[in-house]
Every structure is written in structure tokens, then in C-alpha cells.
Structure 1
């Protein structure tokens, strides 16, 4: 069975979905194995992803980029439909949503701390903008970055690795 051109369809093949979401077909297959998405298939077995699959995959990828692990994503995607009533689904989903909320708040706190640290590192590193010396202790013994490197974790990361 030959499919019409992409512009004439309301579904995508796996490579097209991967391209649109900036991921790989392998990642899409992994999320399919987890039950996050369940595409239709042609009689020949070609996966066909509709708009709902694209939306589910996009949010799963976004959560994954934020550090939400695959097992938790699977629980989020599959718990509700495994329940026999709305009451059971609500009871099962509430702890998962609370956990997700906690994870996001924790991530936001980490990101805010990193942003503050980045600002300190940027101000520190800018002091080298006119320095003609190589950026190490031997060639720049009075380096202001070296003297203040412990004011920021990011500066410690980018400054010479043998620093104590």
C-alpha cells in the first residue's frame, strides 16, 4: 500500500514524526514500547501517528528533557486507562501528579540556583576579557578568576581541572 504525500495525510510515519519533534525513530519506538503512544498501523505494519500521538510524544519528550525518568513517564501515561472507574483513576493519578509537581518545583529551584551561579561566573570570567596571558596559574599568577573561583560552582567547573 502506497501512502499519499505527507501534505495530503492527517498522520505521520515514524521518521516524519521524529523530524517534527526533533528526536529519533528509536526514541519514538522506545516510548511506544512504554505505552506512551500507540500508533495505528497499515496492513504492512507501517506505524501511523495521528495528532494525539504527536501531542503525547511532545509532552513526554519535554518531561524527559526536564529529567523525568522513563518509568515515571510510563506510569503517567498508562495509569489512568488501567483503572475501571473515574474515581479509581482520580485516586491513582493524584499521587502521580503531586509527585510530578514536587519534581518540577525541585527542578525550578535547581535552575534558579544555577542561573544565579551562572551570573556570578559570567561576571568573574569577564575579568579576563582583556588579559593577554594564558588562562592558568603558571602564566597568570595573579588571575582574578583563580583567586575567586570558589565563589561560583560553574567557574570551578570551567577553570583548570587540577585546581584544588
Structure 2
């Protein structure tokens, strides 16, 4: 690419290369990939303002994907916490409601403790 083209892209904010002492531009591999993408879009007839908008939208999509991933991880953590802290209730031997830890069953009733409903 022509140096004037690179300066124009820098002024527009399409690529932000780092600077070496003496103000020389240093392009990273990511910058080179962006420049190739800009060149391809330009050859396809997209204006520089259009390219700038496309790149802004691509950055926004990437940020939203990262945020979505964070929220999914947070949701999963909350689900696990709720599952661990959820309480289970059962009827006690005397008919009262008792709280049981997850994975535990109420004590089995013996025949003498069984409640029998009988109507004559």
C-alpha cells in the first residue's frame, strides 16, 4: 500500500498502528489483517466511510459476543448456586414439614408409625 493511503487510514481511525521512536508507524499482524480487509472491501466498491462503519459494527458484534459469553457463564454459576442452595421439604413422622438436605430421603416409617386413614 502507498504510504499516503496508510496515513489516510490512520487519520480515519481504520487502523491504529503503534509508534516507534521518531514517530514511525509499526504495524502488528492484526493491523496487517485489517489493512487487507480494508483493501478487499475497497476493491469491492465499498467507500471508506462504509468500511469504517463495517469495522465498527464488527467490533461491536465481537464485544457483544464476549459479553454474551460472560453472561452465560454468570447464569450457569447462578443456576449451580441455586441448585446447591435449594431446599427440599418432606413430611416428618409426626406429620410436620421437615427440611431435608439435597440427596437425602426421609427416614422410612415402620408399620406402627404409618398413618392410616379409616372411615367406617
Aligning the two structures, in what range does the TM-score lie when normalised by the shorter sequence?
0.3 to 0.5
Higher relative strand content: 2
**What's the TM-score once normalised by structure 2's chain length?**
0.47
**What's the TM-score once normalised by structure 1's chain length?**
0.35
The structure whose RCO (Cα within 8 Å, separation 6+) is larger is 1
Higher relative helix content: 1
Radius of gyration: which is bigger?
2
